[in-house]
Structure 1
Amino acid sequence: MQRRTLLSALCTGMISVAGCLGHSSETGTPLPAGEVDFPEGTKERPEPPSPATEAAVREYVETHESRYVYNSLWMGEDTDVVVNCRVDSLEQRQWGYEAIVTCTGYSDSPANATATSAHADWFTQSYRYRVSANATHRQDAENRDPVS
């Protein structure tokens, strides 16, 4: 009987500690410094908001993702790129803000003397942004693995 009691107490303690560790790493730890790798194109990376208010972060993440998608679809000077983005959610965290941004888009490049016409689609995709005073992180909203 003592063995079962001891094992039960150990398991309960391990679960409690694991729960506390998971919670503190999500809310109590500041974001490490960093920037998103930004694709080359005609659009520049927007400046992070300072100060980071809810309205400023909302505008920043929508602009950042829109420009990211635009540059990803851009194929040259004659490219017509259409991008539509929206901020699905924005929540303040202890370390800054977390947002989900969804975009869809496409690009068309007309035929000319040296190339054939081209078309590219950016099917609807959502990304999680984490923004703090010293960092911007972007990752696929469907999984927690960092994308860039």
Structure 2
Amino acid sequence: MRCASTRPPFQPEYYPDRLEAGTMNMIGIVGLRAAVRFILAQGVPQIVQKERDMIGYALERLSKLAGVTIYGPKDAQRMVGIISMNVDSVNPADMAYVLDEMYGIAVRAGLHCSPCAHRVLATQNTGTLRMSTGYFNSRGDIDLLVDALEGILNK
């Protein structure tokens, strides 16, 4: 079957069109615009402070749980919104499954694309359980996770 046009396929010679084959990602562009507007309206310092408050609260609550090992700094000022941990005698993948299925909590389990770091932590055989916080999380979200972990540890 032949194309109706007799002209060969054409790609513009001028930039940026020369590099843009196909339909532009308008949804991505509109989403990026909304994100930039949000960041400018809130301010980066306020966003960073909220995220540090959330991670600080999570560290405070998690550190009180017997049987939970937290890896990395315990100072929210030195962290981004991620905490890697393990729960005594429970495989991280199993814990992630239980948190998802029974409590509706999404966490990640495994080596997190960093097998060398896990060799240093001596967790290369199991990995860790990783939770993350962000600007739109609340203390209630952290309470939900910690309460679920506490419930699992008490069973």
Per the normalisation by structure 1, the TM-score is 0.32
From the two aligned structures, give the one with the greater strand fraction. 1
From the two aligned structures, give the one with the greater helix fraction. 2
